[in-house]
A and B are shown apart, each in its own frame.
Chain A
Amino acid sequence: MTATTSAPDSQEAVGATRPAPSSDVGPGASWFARISLVIVCFLFTVPTLGLLISSFRPREDIITSGWWTVVTGGNFSLDNYQAVLDVGMGPSFVNSLAVAVPATVIPILAAAFAAYAFAWMDFKGRELLFVLFVGLLVVPLQVAFVPLTQFFNNVGITNDFLKLWLAHTGFGMPLAVYILRNYIGSLPREVIESAQVDGASHFMTFWRLIIPLSVPALAAYAIFQFLWTWNDYLVALIFMTSGQEVVTITLAELVGSRGQDWHLLTAGAFISMAVPLIVFFGLQRFFVRGLTAGSVKG
């Protein structure tokens, strides 16, 4: 399968290309290829572009003329962004960060410890326990919602953030363990053994050696999990019960209650997309690696 996560293997990134074929036999890009690609790229970009342009147009203009009419001129301002921040998008943005950052760090750390043990320590049930994680990769999250709601009630966990961290940690764990174990298991045996000869404990080996060596895999998974939790709607919808909101919830509520207020929806959508887009354009190479490795997630 393509989920190659072993260390020596550098994943193909979006920008990776193979050397151009020798000019005398290579077909090059025919006009057909070029034109088809331009059309597909145009079709894929237009939806986002239309929304982006509209988010800067005055409220009245958006719903009285198509956004494409701006080619002949129009008014632009940041008023829509101010307006949507005033109806709750601001606090939601902060809440999304407060959910997504720990919900990324916690599973990574727990999974890295487990991955190290699965790869380099001997213990009873190792194989069986790891197969459990592989099997759980595709389990639908829906299995957890009703029992977990009851569990949180019974145990008395009422803090929304804590509930979401715990839920995301549980849901993200199988993939994290799977990716990190593949990577950590492919580190050279001599490096780990030499550390132990020098008298380092497993705990020291883990912090001083494994974590620094695993940065590529950790970063790949971190970006994957961060976008997953930032973009999540369902888990937040179920576990955020005390009136706090994250960006996806606020945006969905705006769609439901103010579906005609396109000045709010367009700007709100862009505020919710800002962080993922920054991560995407800034860390595309790592993001691709995370996706590639994560292509078994359920």
Chain B
Amino acid sequence: MGNAVQAVVAIAIGVGGVVALFWVLNAVVERLPKRQEELLKPYVFVGPAIAVVGLFLLYPAILTIWFSFQTRVGTPAQEFTLDNYVYLFTDSRLHSALINNLLWIIVVPTVAVAIGLLVAVLSDRLKPTSEKIAKSLIFMPMAISFVGASTIWLFIYAWRPPEVEQFGLLAALAGLIGDPPATPILQMSDFRLNSFALMAVVIWMQAGFAMVLLSAAIKNVPEDTIEAARIDGASEVQIFWRVTVPQIKSTIVVVTTTILILVLKIFDVPRVMTSGDFDTNVIANIFYDQAFTFGDRGRASVVVVALIVMTLPFMYLNIKRFREQEAQR
């Protein structure tokens, strides 16, 4: 129970500390002359948020770019070098991982959005209670951690030698149809089949997220546009593609890019399920190994620089969209 007491104390310190910080800062500023108080107070309010973002995101980002041009720690002097960039562009393990990441960002957002859209459209026609149950079931995996989800799917992919009874669902089903598989699916690297098995986990988790947002968008499609198409004799399928989809396009884009950014940095699932072996490695796992297994700061940093470059378009789009929203306010 000492552990629990320690935890309660830790929680109290953490929560109390931040309240005290703002109280003290505010008390100090309120003692200043009125003019200075007015001038300084906004910065007391935004200060802590800016400080942590600066310290924990902005400053590290700059340092990471700087590190990517340095020789590895442990060499006599931290000299300027382009070796890390040579590594980035020539290392075959890294390129194999990049191919996987490319497959991930193509397959996972597409399939998750497709399933989410299907469920959103079909459940929209059910009675409210059935709709709620159906959506909850699809949505539930979203609450689980990647590690928990990986464990669940490892159990499905569990494999035993063909002569004994299979307790993994996939191998058992395969045994029903034909011969039981000779190797576990997570070791089948032909056509990167095992990577697709890992992607299934994340699709399973993200389809519910896509469904929730798309369902909300579908319910906002004006009923009269659909009625009008129906009166004109359009089939349900035509109505879906020609009337509904164009009106929820912006949501489809947001959901797709959100999942895309998530899988760009996918780490937990390959780490827990295969450790990146059997050609399933991804760049976030290479980053982790370079930084914390091999201690090569330069190579780890150059991998992050590649990640930053890949997210720049989305950063630009977010800021652009924000400015458009502000203009409408």
The number of residues on chain A lying at the interface, defined by a beta carbon within 8 Å of a beta carbon of chain B, is 134
State whether B136 touches A234 (Cβ < 8 A): no
Q: From DSSP, what is the main secondary structure of chain B's interface residues?
A: helix
Stretch from A72-80, A144-152, A187-195, A214-222 at the B interface: A144-152
State whether A269 touches B52 (Cβ < 8 A): no
Q: How far is the CB of A58 from chain B (nearest CB, A)?
A: 13
Other-chain contact of B45, A117, A227, A268 (Cβ < 8 Å): A117
State whether A15 touches B132 (Cβ < 8 A): yes
Other-chain contact of A143, B30, B308, B314, B319 (Cβ < 8 Å): B308
State whether A98 touches B46 (Cβ < 8 A): no
Q: How far is the CB of B128 from chain A (nearest CB, A)?
A: 4
State the total of A-B contacts with C-beta under 8 angstroms. 376
* Chain A CB within 8 A of B227 CB: yes
State whether B57 touches A113 (Cβ < 8 A): no
| A7 cross-chain contacts in B, Cβ below 8 A | none
| B123 cross-chain contacts in A, Cβ below 8 A | 37
Other-chain contact of B153, A33, A47, A103, A174 (Cβ < 8 Å): A47
User: A114-B48, A272-B147 are contacts. A17–B128 as well, Cβ < 8 Å?
Assistant: yes
User: A1-B254, A45-B137, A262-B155 are contacts. A173–B308 as well, Cβ < 8 Å?
Assistant: no
| B147 cross-chain contacts in A, Cβ below 8 A | 231, 233, 248, 251-252, 255, 272
State in angstroms the CA–CA spacing of A91 and B119 once bound together: 40
State whether B307 touches A140 (Cβ < 8 A): yes
State whether A170 touches B57 (Cβ < 8 A): yes
The number of residues on chain B lying at the interface, defined by a beta carbon within 8 Å of a beta carbon of chain A, is 128
Q: Which residue of A lies closest to B259 (CB)?
A: A295
State in angstroms the CA–CA spacing of A29 and B142 once bound together: 26
| A147 cross-chain contacts in B, Cβ below 8 A | 59-60, 63-64, 67
* Chain A CB within 8 A of B278 CB: no
State whether B291 touches A292 (Cβ < 8 A): no
* Chain B CB within 8 A of A166 CB: yes
User: A2-B216, A102-B10, A255-B272 are contacts. A140–B145 as well, Cβ < 8 Å?
Assistant: no
State whether A134 touches B319 (Cβ < 8 A): yes
* Chain B CB within 8 A of A197 CB: no
Other-chain contact of A248, B145, B311, B322 (Cβ < 8 Å): B145
Q: Which residue of B lies closest to A51 (CB)?
A: B152
* Chain A CB within 8 A of B321 CB: yes
State whether B143 touches A227 (Cβ < 8 A): yes
* Chain A CB within 8 A of B141 CB: yes
- B-contact bits for A206-243, CB 8 A (1 contact / 0 none): 10000000000000000000010011111001100000
* Chain B CB within 8 A of A141 CB: yes
A residues engaging B (CB < 8 A)?
A: 1-3, 11-12, 14-18, 20-21, 25-30, 33-34, 36-37, 40-41, 44-48, 50-51, 54, 62-68, 90-91, 94-95, 97-98, 101-103, 105-107, 109-111, 113-114, 116-118, 121-123, 126, 129, 131-148, 151, 161-162, 165-167, 169-171, 173-174, 177, 201-203, 206, 227, 230-234, 237-238, 247-248, 251-252, 255-256, 259, 262, 265-266, 268-269, 272-273, 276-277, 279-281, 284, 287-288, 291-292, 295-298
The 4 closest A-B pairs by CB, nearest first: A170-B56, A102-B14, A231-B145, A12-B216
Chosen A-B contacts, 24 in total, with CB atoms closer than 8 Å, are A12-B215, A12-B219, A14-B215, A25-B227, A33-B122, A40-B119, A48-B141, A97-B7, A116-B45, A123-B43, A132-B58, A138-B261, A138-B311, A144-B56, A146-B64, A146-B67, A147-B60, A170-B57, A234-B268, A238-B292, A248-B145, A252-B150, A269-B148, A280-B139
